Chains A and B, each alone.
Chain A
Amino acid sequence: MDILLQQIINGLTTGSVYAIVALGYTMVYGVIQLINFAHGEVVMIGAMVAFTVIMALAGAGLPLPPFAIVLAGVLAAIPVCMALGYLLERLAYRPLRHAPRLAPLITAIGMSIVLQHLALLIWGRDPRAFPQIMENTSFAIGGTGGAAISSVQIAIILLSLALMAGLTWFVYRTRFGIAIRATAEDVRVAALMGVDADRMIAATFVIGAALAAVAGVMVGTYYGIAHYTMGFTLGLKAFSAAVLGGIGNLAGAMLGGLLLGLVEALGTGYISEITDLCRWPLIGDGGGLLTERCAADGHVVLFGSNYQDVFAFLVLILVLVFRPSGLLGERVSERA
């Protein structure tokens, strides 16, 4: 198997999901400079709602094609998450609009915990196996010794690209989208044009939450599991992706998501090889215990692929140290 090609495919898949979730972070940040740490939990709720609906429909024995059942799950998750996004903004963040910036940030972390425990109460603490009703066909790429891409991966990548294209069209080509960008730039001047800032801010939450719902179903279907804590790490990774691309920047979130997915997949794919001490003659030939172990097992691996989650945060730290504005974080200066 071609590890490089395989990990690129896997990375593009998870990267697409990160990109869709990162868009929610970056849109909200762009408009009100808030990191909505509860956004990952919205993804989780989306997965849970879809899971519930898919289980119910699959168990009901109705003559529905699998695709229709999954679609019903998505269509149920979207409005629930949109309502959740709206309520978060309306009840948790809007009252703190003019409070010091730390207050809504702490509130966001609080909302994340509240939502996790709400999900714990509703769906229990055990991981739920996402019903694998869709036939997951694998296609070989690159002949023998190549890699495989599954139909679920293809669906995730294509759907994500479509969502990104749709959002870009909406934000850059529609009157409402232009108004959101104007509000992001200057709330008070946008108000002079008749833009109700509260509506625009609520809209960014609702749009981000709709994307999160789809992302939740994609993650659930891809890993085959849904759990009340699944949104936490995913949310932090998507946030890292948004920072990597330049927080507040839509194209940046998309690019950051895909790149982060690739870095993570390639890192996971190669970490055990790279940290195999026997591969490094200077260390491996040092004699003593290590040489014996290398001779016996052939491998002394420092970090295995269970270090998967490290890469996203490594990227986050590196970006914050070396390029805090992110890859596409731009500063258009107003000339006097």
Chain B
Amino acid sequence: MATALIEALNLEVHYGGIAAVKGISFAVEAGELVCLIGANGAGKTSTLKALARMIPSAGEIRYRDTRLDRLPSHALIRQGLALVPEGRGIFARLTVAENLAMGAYHRDDRREIGLDLARIYAMLPRLKERAAQVAGTLSGGEQQMLAIGRALMGRPQLLLLDEPSMGLAPLMVEKIFEVIRTVAAQGVTILLVEQNARLALQTCARGYVMESGRITLADSAASLLADPRVRAAYLGE
């Protein structure tokens, strides 16, 4: 783990008196596609929110040589970290094009932004068709595409994805995961939080299993898929 891009040490998240994340440690190396699976309420979303500094947390978060836990949320994208939040978090009253422009808000290289936009439109043609449309009128799947496209407009090195399959039809879920694999193949490091454990483990190289605020298993995705405990608890076998 010498080349960890992001590393959490004894990360804790509390809501009032309730501990949602109870001192977990994990790392993601540059170029990896890692998933964090677990049941509803295991603390997955809280973990991602803590990494993105959207909620206060205790413990260290190291990103390259930077202590993320000392930075405000709005400083992270400049460090190369983007989060696609749970529920997608698109700006419903802004147009699709404006949402994408917001993704590049912190950048000044207008020419490169234009190229990235063209690339994202090529990868997600539905967004181009609906560029002038108010984002709130998109379907759930299109909104998820938009949320991912918007995050990519920030040219992140690390992409945190929170439940991208949530509430989507199976066909759309497949499309979204295809996009995730494409993005990963382009060299973006991804930490994926998913309730759909099977799909997540089939997509990722490595995975962590979270249970009531703790990481209980950490292994290669293939081993986790074969692990009887995972099969029983998350794959419904």
Contact = CB atoms under 8 A, between A and B. Distances in A.
A304 B164 CA distance: 64
B74 A191 contact: yes
Contacts of A332: 92-93, 134, 136-137
Interface stretch (B13-21, B25-33, B95-103): B95-103
Contacts of B154: 193-194
B4 interface: no
Interface string A175-217: 1001101100110111111111100000000000000000000
A179 to B, nearest CB: 6
Contact of A182 (B52, B94, B136): B94
B179 interface: no
Contacts of A179: 102, 105
Interface stretch (B62-70, B75-83, B215-223): B75-83
A195 B91 contact: no
Contacts of A185: 91-94
A306 interface: no
Contact of A192 (B73, B92, B136): B73
A334 interface: yes
A336 interface: yes
Interface in A39-66: none
B37 to A, nearest CB: 23
B136 A334 contact: yes
Contact of A336 (B74, B101, B167): B167
Contact of B102 (A178, A188, A333): A178
B85 interface: yes
Contact of B52 (A192, A334, A336): A192
B231 interface: no
A335 interface: yes
Contact of A195 (B74, B83, B85, B167): B74
A193 B106 contact: yes
Nearest to A188: B54
Interface residues of B, number: 34
A64 B59 CA distance: 66
Interface in B81-136: 82-83, 85, 89-94, 98, 101-103, 105-106, 134, 136
Contacts of A192: 52, 54, 73-74, 76-77, 82-83, 85, 89
A189 B90 CA distance: 8
Nearest to B97: A178
Interface residues of A, number: 22
A189 B105 CA distance: 12
A335 B54 contact: no
Contacts of A175: 101, 105
Contacts of A196: 72, 74
Contacts of A190: 91, 102
B139 interface: yes
Given A181-B91, A185-B93, A335 B143 contact: yes
A220 B122 CA distance: 56
B73 A188 contact: yes
Contact of B136 (A178, A193, A197, A335): A335
Given A191-B74, A192-B85, A332-B136, A178 B101 contact: yes
Contacts of A178: 94, 98, 101-102
A139 B226 CA distance: 88
A11 to B, nearest CB: 31
A182 B74 contact: no
Nearest to B101: A178
B138 interface: yes
A188, A190, A196 interface centre (most CB from chain B within 10 Å): A188
B81 to A, nearest CB: 9
Contacts of B73: 188, 191-192
Interface string B146-182: 0000100010000000000001000000000000000
B23 interface: no
Given A181-B93, A185-B91, A189-B85, 12 more contacts: A178-B102, A179-B105, A181-B98, A188-B85, A191-B72, A193-B105, A194-B106, A194-B154, A195-B74, A195-B102, A332-B134, A332-B137
Interface of B: 52, 54, 72-78, 82-83, 85, 89-94, 98, 101-103, 105-106, 134, 136-140, 143, 150, 154, 167
11 contacts: A182-B102, A185-B92, A185-B94, A192-B77, A192-B83, A193-B106, A194-B74, A197-B74, A333-B92, A334-B90, A336-B167
